[in-house]
Amino acid sequence: MTLASLNPDIVVIGAGTSGLSSAKSLKDFGYSVIVIEANSDVGGRCITNNSIFDTPFDLGGSWLHSAATNPLANIAIKKNAKLHKKNWSPTWVHSNGRDLSPQETKEYSQYIEDMWKNINNIGTRKDDLSVEKLIPKSKWKDIAKNQISLMLAADPDVSSALDVFHFTNTKGDWLIESGLGTFIKNIYSDIKVFVNCPASKIDYSSSGVKVETPQGIINAKYAVLTVSTGVLAREQIKFYPALPPRKQEAINLLPIGLLNKIGLEFDPRWKGAHQGQSADYLIGENDFCSIEFGFYDSNIAVGFVGGRFAEQLEMDGPGTATSFCLDSLKAIFGNDIVKFIHKTTETAWKSNKNTHGSYSYAVPGGHGARQTLAEPLDDRLFFAGEATMSNTQATVHGAYLSGIEVAEKISKIDK
Ligand SMILES: Cc1cc2nc3c(=O)[nH]c(=O)nc-3n(C[C@H](O)[C@H](O)[C@H](O)COP(=O)(O)OP(=O)(O)OC[C@H]3O[C@@H](n4cnc5c(N)ncnc54)[C@H](O)[C@@H]3O)c2cc1C
């Protein structure tokens, strides 16, 4: 039986969290569903690697953010997943050639907290501003700007403050010991996915949809498209008719940002840092990384680089981000620290042709584009994925919720 002969009710394009979640909900509504995925594996931007280190390593999403209201956190509890609930905070801060004193580190942490409050005050205004315009003047401003680049995967001068304001942030950032990618994969292990099967064209010109793939053309009543705004912006999928200008504009207002990770496996004999502790390192105005120790309470530390600086490191070639991270560790803990690091790895999400980055951000004035991106076309072509969410954007739980929402939309229209 060929893929083209299956004629499902719905074809879901992309087997990341949103695609898998929509497929499950649609099946629960009684539809026949086919899921196609460009990559050789499922998971998209939420994927665990189990072979680099002895400990699972999430290459993409790892935290269940806003655990108090995160539906995936609830599922994890019900499934008795081993959870790590400790929060990280700056323990060592090295800014432009010197270590901050413990008192300064405390002041810096407080400043970061106040800065987020200030950004969130944008909610009282109707117009939008860049996040940068709301960072209070202070000697900590440079380092704070770089912290924001990690959170948003984009620099504060290009990011919408309203988009940050609308993000629902509740307490708790939890890690799942098996890796969040493995957890998501396990929840949806019963969903059949056709891998190595990229959609190249979607024809939604008459009743139903036709999706072209290397394994044949799939005819279905509806399509759910879940690819990143990076993939959409690069027009890797052709549309017939072409996407309307307002949809195209929404894609342009929601670029994909960049956050890369550097994984470091320490010799267990190194007891210099523990779970919950982190080291921030800044040199110049923009060269910044934050290293968080004791992931999953193991000897794994994870360095993060974000925004333009992460792009620069990735463009400069494999190993550049790792070298920067190791230099940061040497500056903070002394040169001998590298003797305790047994293995390293780094991600390169910008170069990933199935995503082109890490997660979406809105440019100033772009928050409303999330709703536009979520709107179906001709009640046949539906959109899901983290970028379509107005309050849980850029997250795994946002992707999960978008999959459920799109299934509900289809079932209402189909009545
Ligand atoms: C480094 C990093 C750290 C992160 N940290 C966190 C975190 O700690 N917590 C959190 O909540 N979120 C985090 N995120 C964000 C989170 O991982 C994403 O928001 C979420 O996984 C996106 O899911 P999605 O289903 O919207 O998109 P995706 O996972 O990108 O799924 C889309 C799928 O479509 C496939 N595809 C692309 N083109 C085609 C095509 N032509 N045909 C068929 N399939 C195609 C892709 O391969 C992909 O599998 C992080 C992301 C990264 C990269």
Look up residue 103 and give its amino acid: Q
Look up residue 217 and give its amino acid: I
Atom of ligand 1 nearest to the CA of 402: 26
Atom of ligand 1 nearest to the CA of 43: 49
Q: How confident is the model at residue 1 (pLDDT cuts 50, 70, 90)?
A: low
Q: What percentage of the chain has pLDDT greater than the value 90?
A: 85
360 within a domain of the structure (yes/no) = no
CA of 176 to the centre of ligand 1 (A): 18
- Residue pair 199/208 in contact by the 8 Å Cβ criterion: no
Range of the domain at 268: 88-171+257-351
Computed from CA positions of residues 376, 382, 388, 391, in that sequence, does the dihedral angle turn out positive or negative?
Answer: positive
- Supply the Cα-derived Rg of the chain in whole angstroms: 22
CA of 367 to the centre of ligand 1 (A): 20
Q: How confident is the model at residue 3 (pLDDT cuts 50, 70, 90)?
A: confident
133 within a domain of the structure (yes/no) = yes
CA of 22 to the centre of ligand 1 (A): 14
Nearest CA, atom 49, ligand 1: 44
Whether 279 and 319 map to the same domain: the answer is: yes
Q: How many CB atoms lie within 10 A of CB 324?
A: 23
Total domain count, the chain? 2
Q: Which two three-digit tokens encode residue 402?
A: 């978008």
Burial label, 123 (beta-carbon count in 10 A; 0-12, 13-18, 19+) = exposed
CA of 233 to the centre of ligand 1 (A): 15
143 within a domain of the structure (yes/no) = yes
As a whole number of angstroms, the distance between CA 33 and CA 223 comes to 10
391: CATH: 3.50.50.60
Whether 163 and 282 map to the same domain: the answer is: yes
298 within a domain of the structure (yes/no) = yes
294: CATH: 3.90.660.10
For 191-229, give the DSSP string.
S-EE-S----EEE-SSSSEEEEETTEEEEESEEEE---H
Whether 395 and 261 map to the same domain: the answer is: no
Q: What is the pLDDT of residue 185?
A: 98
* Ligand 1 in reach of 210 Cβ (< 6 A): no
Whether 166 and 129 map to the same domain: the answer is: yes
Pocket test for ligand 1, best of 227, 313, 361 (most atoms within 8 A of CB): 227
Whether 268 and 166 map to the same domain: the answer is: yes
Whether 166 and 313 map to the same domain: the answer is: yes
* 280-336 pLDDT tens trace: 999 998 999 999 999 888 999 999 999 999 999 999 999 999 999 999 999 999 999
Whether 198 and 149 map to the same domain: the answer is: no
Residue ending a domain, choose from 351, 381, 398: 351
* 363-397 pLDDT tens trace: 999 999 999 999 999 999 999 999 999 999 999 99
Atom of ligand 1 nearest to the CA of 226: 32
Q: What is the pLDDT of residue 118?
A: 84
Q: What is the pLDDT of residue 6?
A: 85
75 within a domain of the structure (yes/no) = no
263 within a domain of the structure (yes/no) = yes
Whether 162 and 268 map to the same domain: the answer is: yes
* Ligand 1 in reach of 176 Cβ (< 6 A): no
This prediction's pTM: 0.97
Whether 278 and 342 map to the same domain: the answer is: yes
- DSSP secondary structure code for residue 44 in this structure: T
Nearest CA, atom 33, ligand 1: 14
Residue ending a domain, choose from 300, 316, 351: 351
Residue ending a domain, choose from 328, 351, 374: 351
Q: What is the pLDDT of residue 122?
A: 82
72 within a domain of the structure (yes/no) = no
* Ligand 1 in reach of 215 Cβ (< 6 A): no
Instruction: Tell me the pairing of strands 287-295 and 193-194.
Output: unpaired
* 150-174 pLDDT tens trace: 999 999 999 999 999 999 988 899 9
62 within a domain of the structure (yes/no) = no
* Ligand 1 in reach of 393 Cβ (< 6 A): no
Whether 133 and 167 map to the same domain: the answer is: yes
Q: What percentage of the chain has pLDDT greater than the value 70?
A: 100
Whether 261 and 341 map to the same domain: the answer is: yes
CA of 157 to the centre of ligand 1 (A): 24
- Residue pair 173/63 in contact by the 8 Å Cβ criterion: yes
* 199-247 pLDDT tens trace: 999 999 998 999 999 999 999 999 999 999 999 999 999 999 999 999 9
Whether 284 and 208 map to the same domain: the answer is: no
Dmax over Cα atoms in the chain, in whole Å? 68
